[in-house]
Amino acid sequence: MGIFEKLRQGLKKTKDSMIGGIEGILNSFTKIDDELFEELEETLILSDIGVNTAVKICDSLREKVKKTGEKNPENIKNMIKEIMVEMLGEDKPLDLSTTPSVILVIGVNGVGKTTTIGKLSYQLKSEGKKVLVAAADTFRAAAIDQLQVWTDRAGVDLIKHSEGSDPAAVVFDAVTAAKARKVDVVICDTAGRLHNKKNLMDELKKIARIVNTQAEGCSLEVLLALDATTGQNAVNQAKQFKEVADITGIILTKLDGTAKGGIIISITEDLKIPVKIVTVGEKIDDIQPFNNKDFVNALFGE
């Protein structure tokens, strides 16, 4: 199965719920009026696109309808599609331009952070890159053990210390080893504790300092992992993490298990943070770079 087909299948629940709802509204109206726009807005909000984003989509749609003079409700589906593509903007792939490049993965427990690191390691290795993973979530022994399982599956090396070690020390050792071994990408798992923002912020700053000192001039991606099935809660998590970290991109996990895939539009529009990676299944290769046009095409079943 190709990458696009996986995305299309992964978005089936969202397509059936959101696009099915939109099509139902457009087919039930004979003219374009305020009532149609109100129903569209409500459907978008119920699809977890978020109030602000839903209002913006409908406002843009009103403008397009006014500009084109369109009268037939069935003909505005493509306009909605165009607006969503515009909102998502240009694709922003991972910056892996230096050797080594460093990726910090942050996010609360349970969002699929460790699993995604395993999948990303596998993907990068299959592209010919040498990958090293740092087990810098040292507060849970299970996190280190789980990461070991995934890195073994991906066929990449893991740098780990004992439970309770200083996370920054693990990252220091990983970056030092990466330079010695001519590694292309270092991926660091981090602890996702939001209940004490100051500790988390201090820890992330310390890790970033070590990366900048040990691998001066290297590219640094700070990727926030979010669970698509949590809908608007994912947006709230992103807002909180944005307060403590310089997030460069979003990893959206479990896209295949939700009808709330429209959350991607809300995250991009509300937070101005690009979605860079999505996962669409449980297999090790069920991960792909986010492509805006492919996403919207898959959402509309095209």
Q: Tell me: the pLDDT tens digits for 168-203? A: 999 999 999 999 999 999 999 988 766 567 777 788
Nearest to residue 223, comparing CAs of 257, 201, 184, 251?
251
Confidence category of residue 204, pLDDT binned at 50, 70, 90: confident
Q: Angle, to 10 degrees, between the axis of helix 77-88 and the axis of helix 263-271?
A: 50
CATH code: domain 3-88 is: 1.20.120.140
Nearest to residue 300, comparing CAs of 26, 1, 29, 69?
26
Distance CA 133, CA 147 (A): 9
| Phi, psi of 267, deg, nearest 5 | -60, -50
Distance CA 265, CA 232 (A): 11
- For residues 242 and 153, the model is more confident at 153
Rg (CA), the chain: 21
Are 3-88 and 101-299 equal in CATH topology? no
Q: Does residue 215 surpass a pLDDT of 90? A: no
| Phi, psi of 245, deg, nearest 5 | -140, 150
Confidence category of residue 205, pLDDT binned at 50, 70, 90: confident
| Phi, psi of 161, deg, nearest 5 | -115, -175
Per-residue pLDDT, 156: 97
Per-residue pLDDT, 96: 96
Q: Does residue 4 surpass a pLDDT of 70? A: no
Q: Name the helix (H) or strand (E) containing 77.
A: helix 77-88
Q: What is the pLDDT of residues 118-177, one digit of tens each?
A: 999 999 999 999 999 999 988 877 889 999 999 999 999 999 998 888 999 999 999 999
Beta bridge partners of 279: 287
Per-residue pLDDT, 195: 57
Q: Does residue 29 surpass a pLDDT of 60? A: yes
Average pLDDT for residues 203-208, to the nearest whole number? 86
b/e per residue 53-82 (b: at least 16 CB within 10 A): bbebbbebbeebbeeeeeeebeebeebbbe
Give just the sign of the alpha carbon dihedral 215, 216, 217, 222. positive
Amino acid at the residue 99:
T
92: tokens are 């922003």
284: tokens are 């090790």
Query: Which of 87-91, 98-102, 258-262, 283-287 shows the lowest per-residue confidence on average (mean pLDDT)?
Result: 258-262
Confidence category of residue 60, pLDDT binned at 50, 70, 90: very high
Q: Does residue 227 surpass a pLDDT of 80? A: yes
Sequence-distant (≥ 6) Cβ neighbours of residue 282 within 8 angstroms: none
Confidence category of residue 2, pLDDT binned at 50, 70, 90: low
Q: Angle, to 10 degrees, between the axis of helix 77-88 and the axis of helix 20-28?
A: 140
Distance CA 175, CA 206 (A): 14
Beta bridge partners of 186: 102, 132
Q: Are strands 157-159 and 185-190 parallel, antiparallel or unpaired?
A: unpaired
Query: Which of 89-93, 122-126, 201-205, 265-269 shows the lowest per-residue confidence on average (mean pLDDT)?
Result: 201-205
Domain boundaries of the chain, sorted by first residue: 3-88, 101-299
CATH 3.30.70.100 for the 101-299 domain, yes or no: no
Contact by Cβ (8 Å): 11, 302: no
The predicted model scores a pTM of 0.91
